Each structure stands twice: as structure tokens, then as C-alpha cells.
């Protein structure tokens, strides 16, 4: 009888100290998080503008190249080669400038996305502490959750919380 009572007491203690664990599908979270969606849209507008600029500059450069070819036919060969070399340098310079603008845009986008990810991690941590979770694991592609019941899936709750906070 004593063993049964001790066994029940042990089970009660063990069940009281059970850790609360949840998981978040990282892919779904980031797909549905409005701030991330807004940042992507903002950078798409910037990328589209850069593409239009690149296309416009390329088209103008091609027109200039055609005009140069016509002009070069009536020049002495030495002079034409010198101007062709200068023209090539101009093309390389324009290409480098456009490439640099593209890299700057990519870096800005990466900095903003890193900031969003950092913010999301802090919010999940705060949520976990407030809700009494011992662990909140990351799932989705490359995540550490191979299986979890729907009752442990916190993705929708956290997306809603993040979007509500972002709206305010």
C-alpha cells in the first residue's frame, strides 16, 4: 500500500513538472507575416524601378553604339580605335554603376529581412515566456520539428499576434 501511495505521489510530481512545448512553422509564419510581405513589396517596387532604369540606359547605350559604328566608318582607323576604347570604358563604367546599385538594393533588403527575423524571434520568445512554454521549436523547411500535433502548433496564434502588433 505504501508503494502505491509513493508511486502515485511520484507520478503526480512528474506530471506537474512536465514541460510545455510548442512549435512554429517558420515558412508559414514568414509567408503570412504582414511586415515581411510589405518589405518584399517595397523592394519589388525598387527592383522594378532599377530594372526600368537599366533597360533605359541599355537602350540609350545601344543607340549610341549604333551611331558610333556609323561614325567610325568615316574615321581614320587609329582615331576609330581610340574612340572605340573610350566607348568601351564608358560601357563598363555604366555596367559597374548599375551592378553597384543592384548590390546596394540587395544589401538593404537583406538588412531589413534580418531585422524582421530578429524581431520575430524576440516576439516568439516573449510569447513563450508569457504563455509558460519551456520550448518553442521551429518547424518547416530546415526546421527541427519532424512531427507535432496540431494542438502544439502555435503558428497561427503567433502570426495573428505579430500582425496585430504590426498594424498598431
**What pLDDT is attached to residue 129?**
93
Quick check: helix, strand or coil at residue 136?
strand
Angle at which helix 77-131 crosses helix 34-73, to 10 degrees, equals 180
Cα distance between residue 138 and residue 20, in whole Å: 15
**What pLDDT is attached to residue 140?**
80
> From first to last of its 168 residues, what are the pLDDT tens digits of the chain?
555 454 444 444 444 567 899 999 999 999 999 999 999 999 999 999 999 999 999 899 899 889 888 888 888 889 888 888 988 998 899 999 999 999 999 999 999 999 999 999 999 999 999 999 999 998 888 777 777 888 888 999 999 999 999 998
Cell of 7: 508511486
Predicted structure pTM score:
0.73
**74 exposed, middle or buried (CB, 10 Å; 0-12, 13-18, 19+)?**
exposed
> Shortest CA distance to 139 belongs to which of 148, 151, 131?
148
**What pLDDT is attached to residue 149?**
82
**What pLDDT is attached to residue 93?**
92
**What pLDDT is attached to residue 54?**
92
**What pLDDT is attached to residue 3?**
52
Amino acid at each position: 500500500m505504501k508503494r502505491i501511495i509513493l508511486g502515485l505521489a511520484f507520478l503526480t510530481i512528474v506530471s506537474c513538472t512536465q514541460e510545455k512545448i510548442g512549435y512554429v512553422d517558420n515558412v508559414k509564419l514568414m509567408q503570412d507575416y504582414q511586415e515581411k510581405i510589405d518589405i518584399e513589396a517595397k523592394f519589388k517596387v525598387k527592383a522594378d524601378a532599377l530594372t526600368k532604369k537599366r533597360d533605359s540606359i541599355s537602350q540609350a547605350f545601344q543607340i549610341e553604339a549604333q551611331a558610333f559604328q556609323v561614325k567610325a566608318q568615316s574615321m581614320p582607323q587609329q582615331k576609330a580605335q581610340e574612340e572605340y576604347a573610350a566607348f568601351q570604358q564608358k560601357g563598363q563604367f555604366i555596367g559597374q554603376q548599375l551592378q553597384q546599385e543592384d548590390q546596394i538594393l540587395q544589401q538593404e533588403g537583406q538588412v531589413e529581412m534580418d531585422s524582421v527575423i530578429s524581431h520575430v524571434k524576440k516576439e516568439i520568445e516573449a510569447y513563450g515566456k508569457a504563455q509558460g512554454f519551456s520550448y518553442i521549436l521551429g518547424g518547416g523547411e530546415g526546421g527541427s520539428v519532424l512531427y507535432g500535433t496540431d494542438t502544439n502548433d502555435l503558428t497561427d496564434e503567433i502570426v495573428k499576434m505579430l500582425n496585430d502588433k504590426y498594424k498598431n
